């Protein structure tokens, strides 16, 4: 199977299996999505969704968040891990959003990535899912599958993002990255992967 055929087969399979893909992180707007994505670093989406209701009940916007202390935020988000770093980032980015962006989450990659604790992947999720701007967020799971399917050489997530953008239509980026996440969880896990149970790997026989 040639690479172009492999890419099309993968896209068709993902679309057939996941014609509708919900955003895995519970949120109500750009700000709550930003906080949820920040919390998801080295933490499962499932755990984040258990923690954010408590946090957002106290503060679901920047002005309410800065009324909390960093220690109060840390106590709530502790089960997500990296709580000292994340609590400071949440407090500080909320202050910056209030002071520099009139309380609104900025809508450019540059401004998002300038916020504390917000890297390119987090910015990409917010840009794609909150604002509908084409982006291809690559986390460790997408990176792993792209390498497994030989869509990228796997040197780093930055290269994987470039490769996936080059191989797929721009109007599908925002959906494909979610489809790959769901597919990886259901059929193509890092451990205990059974090729015969994985429609893509089974078909392309890598």
Q: Which residues are catalytic?
A: 121, 139
Q: Which residues contact 193 (CB under 8 A, 6 or more apart)?
A: 201
Q: Which residues contact 15 (CB under 8 A, 6 or more apart)?
A: 179
**How many other CB atoms are found less than 10 A from the CB of residue 99?**
11
Instruction: Specify the residue for token string 């890419």.
Output: 7
**How many other CB atoms are found less than 10 A from the CB of residue 23?**
15
Q: Cα(24)–Cα(45) distance, rounded to whole angstroms?
A: 6
């Amino acid at each position: 199977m040639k690479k172009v055929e492999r890419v099309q087969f993968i896209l068709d399979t993902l679309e057939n299996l996941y014609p509708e893909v919900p955003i895995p992180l519970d949120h109500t707007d750009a700000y709550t999505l930003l906080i949820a994505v920040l919390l998801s670093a080295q933490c499962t989406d499932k755990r984040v969704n258990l923690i954010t209701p408590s946090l957002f009940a106290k503060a679901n916007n920047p002005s309410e968040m800065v009324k909390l202390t960093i220690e109060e935020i840390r106590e709530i988000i502790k089960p997500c891990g990296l709580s000292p770093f994340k609590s400071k980032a949440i407090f500080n980015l909320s202050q910056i959003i209030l002071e520099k962006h009139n309380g609104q989450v900025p809508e450019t990659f540059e401004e998002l990535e300038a916020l504390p604790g917000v890297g390119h992947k987090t910015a990409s999720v917010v840009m794609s899912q909150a604002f509908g701007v084409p982006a291809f967020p690559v986390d460790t799971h997408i990176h792993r599958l792209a390498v497994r399917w030989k869509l990228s050489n796997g040197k780093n997530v930055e290269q994987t993002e470039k490769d996936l953008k080059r191989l797929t239509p721009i109007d599908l980026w925002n959906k494909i990255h979610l489809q790959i996440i769901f597919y990886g969880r259901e059929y193509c896990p890092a451990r205990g992967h059974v090729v015969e149970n994985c429609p893509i790997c089974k078909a392309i026989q890598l």
